[in-house]
Amino acid sequence: MGFRKKNKSPPVLSHEFVIQNHADMVSCVAMVILLGLMFEVTAKFAIMFITVQYNITQVPEEKSEPVNLYQYGPKDVATVFFYLLIAVILHALIQEYILDKMNRRLHLSKTKHSKFNESGQLAAFYLFSFIWGCSILTSEDFATNPTFLWEGYPHTHMVFQVKFFYICQIAYWLHALPELYFQKVRKEDIPRQLYYICLYIVHITGAYVLNLHRLGLVLLVPHYLVELLFHASRLFYFSDENKQKGFTLWALLFVIARLLTLTLSVLTFGFGLPRTENQGFSLAEGNFNVLTIRMTCLAAICLTQAWMMWKFINFQLKKWREHSQNQASKKKMVSPKSKPHKKEPTRGGAANGVVKSEDKTSPRARKSKAS
């Protein structure tokens, strides 16, 4: 783990060395990019990594002041790479100074330790993204009218907050891929985490590239709220197994979020976009409003929601089985005690090491018989 002091240092450039010092290495790369701003020769390249690119100035009809808007382009790859480095550094800081200290107090098993770290990192990210997304929706009035999701498509122009939000989202989920190696995630947990990381990357990048950032933002905010509640509930559960009320509220909101996602997606791709004026496919104009792309996007969202519901049902069934097994074990412990059995005679008539004789004659009679 980055920033962690070790008594014994592993060989340089070995796997253990890279894992322990990956945050320091990434910090050096980020510092080199920042130092590039100090020199005129490298400043042009450094700015491409640090600042958001492709800004244009427009004067809307409703306002007299010019407004800075942004588009996307190939240079965004450099910006995503820089903020991917920042995400790795922040990940190491949260792990080192918050989660590791909490783990030492809780004394969790290896399985719970891994899940606790995962939930701690994701809960912090979901909380930050949910608050940021809500502020954008409030300032831009995205959620006031559903027709705003498709009116005026293609939405090639974005305000700074929207573009920077998507840059950070893509960078975070891309950074999660190398973190599987840096965090020494267990082999049995890697496929599960790869599934949802790749789904996030594909869906968020797709909304960004296809100029569907309005729909993507509206769908991400309630989804992040549900995921935040789940991981926060799991953190409380690891600290005290009696705290399970959060999972009930999460289950209710999870189903509502899935229905909301399907409803808005069908409205946008099935009814809204087919009725807009700009129909056709044009890379130059950023227009992807054709039947093939619309149906592909809708199918991808529906399949993802179906997969999530399948995982959710299996999770609930597993919890129900565990609960029923616990109830059955408690009933066995409370059941009335069985009747005591009759005491069996001791072998050889001995009790507590003393041999008892069944002959009740006196000792003098025994002696006369023996003579």
Tokens, residue 159? 């305000």
Say whether pLDDT at 9 is over 80: no
| Predicted confidence band of residue 205 (pLDDT cuts 50, 70, 90) | very high
Residue 319 contacts by C-beta under 8 Å, 6 or more apart in sequence? 247
| Predicted confidence band of residue 62 (pLDDT cuts 50, 70, 90) | low
Torsion angle in degrees (nearest 10) through CA of 17, 21, 22, 28: -130
Segment 310-330 shows an average pLDDT of 84
Q: Could you tell me if residue 50 is inside a domain? A: no
Determine phi and psi for 255, rounding to 5 degrees.
Answer: -65, -40
Q: Which of 12-16, 27-31, 194-198 is least confident?
A: 12-16
Residue 159 contacts by C-beta under 8 Å, 6 or more apart in sequence? 67, 68, 69, 70, 140
Look at residue 294 and give its three-state secondary structure. Answer: helix
State how many domains the chain has: 1
Q: Could you tell me if residue 342 is inside a domain? A: no
Range of 256's domain?
A: 69-324
Percent of the chain past pLDDT 70, that is, above it, reads: 85
Q: Could you tell me if residue 317 is inside a domain? A: yes
By the 8 A CB rule, do 34 and 49 touch? no
* Tally of CB atoms within 10 A around 208: 21
On the CB side of 211, how many CA atoms lie within 13 Å of its CA?
Answer: 23
> For the stretch 260-289, what's the b/e string if a residue is b when 16 or more beta carbons lie within 10 angstroms of its beta carbon?
ebeebbebbbeebbeeeeeeeeeeeebbbb
Looking at residue 14, its pLDDT comes to 81
Phi-psi region of 277 (alpha: psi -120 to 50; beta: other; left: phi over 0): alpha
Looking at residue 357, its pLDDT comes to 47
CA distance 6 to 116: 23
Mean per-residue pLDDT of the chain: 86
Q: 282 vs 243, which has greater pLDDT?
A: 282
* Tally of CB atoms within 10 A around 131: 12
Q: 37 vs 363, which has greater pLDDT?
A: 37
Looking at residue 364, its pLDDT comes to 53
Q: What is the pTM of this model?
A: 0.84
Q: Could you tell me if residue 57 is inside a domain? A: no
Looking at residue 295, its pLDDT comes to 96
Say whether pLDDT at 144 is over 90: no
Q: Classify residue 229 by burial, with Cβ atoms within 10 Å: 0-12, 13-18, 19+.
A: buried
Q: Could you tell me if residue 190 is inside a domain? A: yes
pLDDT tens column, 92-132: 999 999 999 998 888 888 888 889 999 999 999 999 999 99
| Predicted confidence band of residue 63 (pLDDT cuts 50, 70, 90) | low
CA distance 35 to 41: 12
Say whether pLDDT at 88 is over 60: yes
Tokens, residue 315? 């999770």
| Predicted confidence band of residue 336 (pLDDT cuts 50, 70, 90) | low
Looking at residue 257, its pLDDT comes to 96
Looking at residue 348, its pLDDT comes to 47
Q: What amino acid is encoded at 8 in this protein? A: K
